Amino acid sequence: MPTFKTSFTVNAPLEAVAAFHADTSALKILNPPFIIVQLHRVDPMADGSISEFTLWMGPLPIRWRAIHSDVGPNGFTDSLDDGPMATWRHTHRFEAIDDYKTQIHEQIEYEYLSGWRGLAPRILFGHLGLTALFTYRKWATRHALN
C-alpha cells in the first residue's frame, strides 16, 4: 500500500495544535483556496466522529466521508468510509518539542480504486498532488497557529 509522510514544526504548544485540529473549521483552513470545501456533517472530534464533505476541485465534486479514531491530545486518525479511494487512512501525530514548539507528523496510507473510477484520484491524490496539498497545509497550519 502506498504511503505518504510529512513532518513539520510549528511555533505553538501541543495543546494549541491539538485544539486547532479538533476545531471543525480547520478542514476549510487546511485546503488551498482553489479547493472549495462544502461541509455536510462535521461531528465534534472524538472516537467514532464523522466528517462528511465535498471537495470542489473546479467543476469536479469529490464527496468524502471519514471516521475518526485514536483521538487524543497527541493526534488522531481519519479513515475514509466512503469516497473516491479504495483506502485512505490519515494519521496525525503531535509531539511537543518544548513548551512553545510542536512537531506535526502526518502519514497517509492509501489505495486507488481500480479502473476508470481510480483515474481522477490517481491524478489529484498522487505523490505530486499530495506534496502540493501538504506544502499548503504546512503553511496554513503555521499561519493559523503562529
Per-residue pLDDT reduced to its tens digit, 85-128: 999 999 999 999 999 999 999 999 999 999 998 888 998 899 99
Q: Kindly state the average pLDDT of the residues 121-140.
A: 94
pLDDT over threshold 90, residue 146: no
Distance CA 133, CA 127 (A): 10
* Mean pLDDT of the 16-37 span: 93
- What is the pTM assigned to this prediction? 0.94
- Domains of the chain: which residue ranges? 3-145
- Give φ, ψ of 134 to 5 degrees: -80, -20
The answer to whether 74 and 95 have CB atoms below 8 angstroms apart is: yes
Q: What percent of the chain is modeled with pLDDT above 90?
A: 88
Superfamily of domain 3-145: START domain (3.30.530.20)
Grid cell, residue 14, equals 501541543
Residue appearing with cell numbers 499561519: 143
Phi, psi of 111 (to 5 degrees): -140, 140
Closest by CA to 11, choosing from 104, 144, 106, 142, is 142
Taking residue 58's Cβ as centre, other Cβ atoms within 10 Å add up to 8
d(CA 45, CA 67): 10
